Amino acid sequence: MDVQSTNRRLGAAAIFNIGDVLAQLGDDFPSVTASKIRFYEEKGLITPQRTPAGYRQFRDADVERLRFVLALQRDHYLPLKVIREYLDAIDRGETPHNLPPGVSIAPRMVSDDLALELKGRSRRLSADQLRAECGASAELLDAMLSYGLLEQRDGFFDDHALRVAKACTDLFAHGLEPRHLRPFQAAADREFGLVERAVAPLSSRRDGASSARAAEAAREIAELCLSLHSALVQTRIAEMESQ
């Protein structure tokens, strides 16, 4: 009986080397190579363990993640950035949005230990939890809510709200109160309108791949809008310094 069979018989987690992984995936994905697997590791799509000598050790979860990545690339031509977002959602214990039709998530993609860890890592934050993480007072949090900078869903806040609250709290330390920040909300709404218009041709399609590409394009356009905004503000600061 080989080592892998013994591990399975004893209930231990199976460990594979890169050759074992290629053998498991080769029938379904004949073009997969060791260099491609190493490339996916460099991109953070898989994180095999290492022996003290530096050899990679793959587990069932790693193999299933590779199968997931390879299928999305081969069958749906999705870019790695979109696939990475799917995997990040899975690692957070969430079901990815807009998965292409027919794509399923293998239960072994996330290890049992990680699944238990993620289960307790919910980002549904109460008002007290939000204030504790961003350092805002109750009065400052109320002001953020009253000026429309924050939104609650079912009485809780999410990670996006936490980032907004942290930024508002830091700006408050510089003398900028929530009432001064209302133009940012208006500007965000206008920028979202531009993004929505730009990705409308993709969003109007009903297939999952188009929805994923629309989401990726929306994020890229939003990042460019932020870069433009920052560059324009920096230009004004430079003008102020030159006076």
Residue 86 has pLDDT above 80, yes or no: yes
Q: pLDDT tens for residues 199-214?
A: 888 777 766 567 767 7
pLDDT value, residue 208: 59
Domains of the chain by residue range: 3-119, 123-180, 199-243
Question: Exposed (0-12), middle (13-18) or buried (19+): which is 161, by Cβ within 10 Å?
Answer: buried
Which pair of tokens denotes residue 5? Answer: 């069979």
Q: What share of the chain is helix, strand, coil (3-state, %, to 5)?
A: 65, 5, 30
- Which class would CATH give 123-180? mainly alpha
Helix axis angle for 80-91 and 208-242, nearest 10°, is 100
pLDDT value, residue 66: 94
pLDDT value, residue 103: 76
CATH number of 3-119: 1.10.1660.10
pLDDT value, residue 25: 94
pLDDT value, residue 133: 86
27-31, 117-121, 147-151, 194-198: segment of lowest average pLDDT: 117-121
Tell me whether domains 3-119 and 123-180 share a fold.
Answer: yes
Residue 116 has pLDDT above 60, yes or no: no
Calculate the dihedral angle through the C-alpha atoms of 189, 195, 196, 198, rounding to the nearest 10 degrees: 150
Residue 67 has pLDDT above 90, yes or no: yes
pLDDT value, residue 206: 67
Q: Looking at the DSSP assignment, which residues form a beta bridge with residue 156? A: 153
Residue 2 has pLDDT above 60, yes or no: no
Residue 114 has pLDDT above 60, yes or no: no
pLDDT value, residue 108: 66
**pLDDT averaged over the chain?**
82
Residue 226 has pLDDT above 50, yes or no: yes
pLDDT value, residue 33: 94
Is the pTM of the predicted complex or chain greater than 0.95?
no
